[in-house]
Chain A
Amino acid sequence: MRLPFANIPIWPEGASKAAFEMDLLYLVIVGLTVFFCIIVFGLVIYFVAKYYAGSKADRSNPTFHNMPLELAWSLIPLALGLFVFGWAAKLFVEMQAPIQSENALNIYVVGKQWMWQMQHPTGQRENNELHIPVGRSVKLTLISQDVIHSFYVPAFRTKTDVVPGRYRTLWFEPTKVGKYHLFCAEFCGTKHAEMTGWVYVLSPEDYEKWLQDNRWGMGDEGVTVAQAGQALYEQLQCSSCHAPEQRIGPPLTGLYGSTRTLSDGRRVVADYDYLRQAILDPQAVTVSGHEPIMPPYRGQLTEQEVIQLIEFIKTLSAPEAPPVAEAEQSDDSGGNG
């Protein structure tokens, strides 16, 4: 939105479901701000004008204390503040709590100085650009390879810090076809201001077309992220310990999302962060009943490769119709603590 009389933008485009909700809340707080400003400025100007030294105003019996008045201007702002807090907290939970929809489009984002690398589940990769379909929930799983970055799309009114060493998730549902700014919002070094890009929200048809046109990112055979993970799994010879007949590593089937008991007594859910640690620093999360003998892969895998491995392990959880063909027998084991 722009001012009518000048070429000055005053309102950002909104292109997600959250954008509308947030704009509403924002406008309410703007309203409160204007209301209080009018009261305070009005009082100040009125008193200055009326009680300017030498004026003939009635100054008899001034008061210095007024408990009801003090309480009023303590408690009314508090009540309004708590109202805003409640609304904002509710919206925050709605925006930030992770979506667990099967239908959501899972995209992996790795931030590094100074670019964004996106990886689509079907294998397409792109840098500093993100193509997504309109009207479908998009779930981003983000991690940084070096310093803290922050993934920010103003049109979606959403952002999250992208931290090294752990996964963050962010999701939104675009509602409007268009081209929107993508920024890095956390200072990350020399080219922080150039760590920007575009988010393209496409109609479902255009998105399908885009997926087809960009198969080059997947290699010759059309490798999905999980398939790339499987290739890596074989290349690193994970199966030499983790194959079921070896009986060395804990089984990978059904690993993702299960609850693990570690040798130090902790019970943890095998989520993305757990699996990442289990690959990079396996000895830190040895599973109870297994020897801590797996070598750590820290420094040997890029964050993208770790994501591919995790995606592969995740496919092993699905009881039926695993998307990856043969390495998929239900008794497949492996994995690391």
Chain B
Amino acid sequence: MSTHEGDLHVGHQFEDAEQQLDSYSAGMWLFLVTEVLFFGGLFLAYIIYRTRYTEAFVAAHHELDWQLGGLNTVILITSSLTMALGVRAAVLNRMKAVLGWLGLTFLCAGGFMVVKYIEYSAKFEHHLFPGPNFEFHHAGIDPGQAQMFFNLYFAMTGLHGAHVLIGMITMIILVIRLWVMRKQRIDFIPIELTGLYWHFVDLVWIFLFPLFYLVGGN
């Protein structure tokens, strides 16, 4: 894309657009690395309790609806596709396409949150939210251990949901920014960075889905 670089705004600290793009890209990847370790602490807790409270985890996961989880997986994968196509359009400087793909991605993200809301409210209704109101009756299962499953479920999907929300806010800001600067060449760096972030959000869900909805076994 070197042909277009001259048109892009280059920050005062950078020598040229290439250095700027390199720096932003490296910065975003580093940020994603910190995110990996951020979620990592929770995954470690999951591994430890999953291996210690195996039966309770198997029993508790039947309370989750794997079909809704699967639906959300498909939604997020789709949004990753639309985001990738959006980034592509941005690099090729196709304004309408960018807006369209970003809009679709935003809709998918919204759909994901709606499904999440349905799931969460069902858990609250069935007293499956951990805490004093928690109730879990299943022969042979210690409710305390089942509660640990829901502790981790809410902690991990909640944190992931927060990331989806942040992604949605970022997309709104992106679209506004695009609109304000619609006369200029598209500055694709912010879109590219948002894309990386969004794929990471998808990636986390790819692990969360089998860990919570498909615990498997009997």
Contacts and interface: CB of A to CB of B under 8 A. Distances in A.
**A touching B, CB within 8 angstroms:** yes
B56 interface: yes
Contacts of A284: 53, 56, 142, 144-145
Q: Which residue, B53, B140, B144, has most C-beta atoms of chain A within 10 A?
A: B140
Nearest to B53: A284
B175 interface: no
Give the size range of A's interface with the partner. 10 to 19
Contact of B142 (A263, A291, A296): A296
Contacts of B53: 284
A145 interface: no
Interface of A: 263-264, 281, 283-284, 286, 291-292, 296, 298
Nearest to B140: A292
B141 interface: yes
A263 B140 contact: yes
Nearest to A284: B142
Contacts of B141: 283, 292
B54 interface: yes
B135 interface: no
A252 to B, nearest CB: 20
Contacts of B140: 263, 283, 286, 291-292
A284 B56 CA distance: 8
Contacts of B139: 292
B187 interface: no
Interface in B145-161: 145
Contacts of B56: 284
B54 A281 contact: no
Contact of B54 (A264, A291, A292): A264
B55 A264 contact: yes
A283 B136 CA distance: 13
Q: Which residue, A264, A286, A296, has most C-beta atoms of chain B within 10 A?
A: A264
Q: Which residue, A281, A283, A292, A296, has most C-beta atoms of chain B within 10 A?
A: A283
Interface residues of B, number: 10
A281 B56 CA distance: 12
Contacts of B55: 263-264
B54 A283 contact: no
Contacts of A281: 142, 144-145
Interface in B19-56: 53-56
Nearest to A285: B142
10 closest Cβ contacts across the A-B interface?
A: A292-B140, A284-B142, A264-B55, A283-B142, A281-B142, A264-B54, A283-B140, A286-B140, A284-B145, A292-B139
A249 to B, nearest CB: 14
B134 to A, nearest CB: 15
Contacts of A286: 140
22 contacts: A263-B55, A263-B140, A264-B54, A264-B55, A281-B142, A281-B144, A281-B145, A283-B140, A283-B141, A283-B142, A284-B53, A284-B56, A284-B142, A284-B144, A284-B145, A286-B140, A291-B140, A292-B139, A292-B140, A292-B141, A296-B142, A298-B144
Interface in B105-154: 139-142, 144-145
Contacts of A292: 139-141
Given A281-B142, A292-B141, A298-B144, 14 more contacts: A263-B55, A263-B140, A264-B54, A264-B55, A281-B144, A283-B141, A283-B142, A284-B53, A284-B56, A284-B142, A284-B144, A286-B140, A292-B139, A296-B142
A291 B139 CA distance: 9
A286 B53 CA distance: 12
B54 to A, nearest CB: 6
A276 to B, nearest CB: 14
Contacts of A298: 144
A283 B53 CA distance: 11
Contacts of B54: 264
A117 to B, nearest CB: 26
A247 to B, nearest CB: 19
A281 B140 CA distance: 11
A213 to B, nearest CB: 44
Q: Which residue, B53, B141, B142, has most C-beta atoms of chain A within 10 A?
A: B142
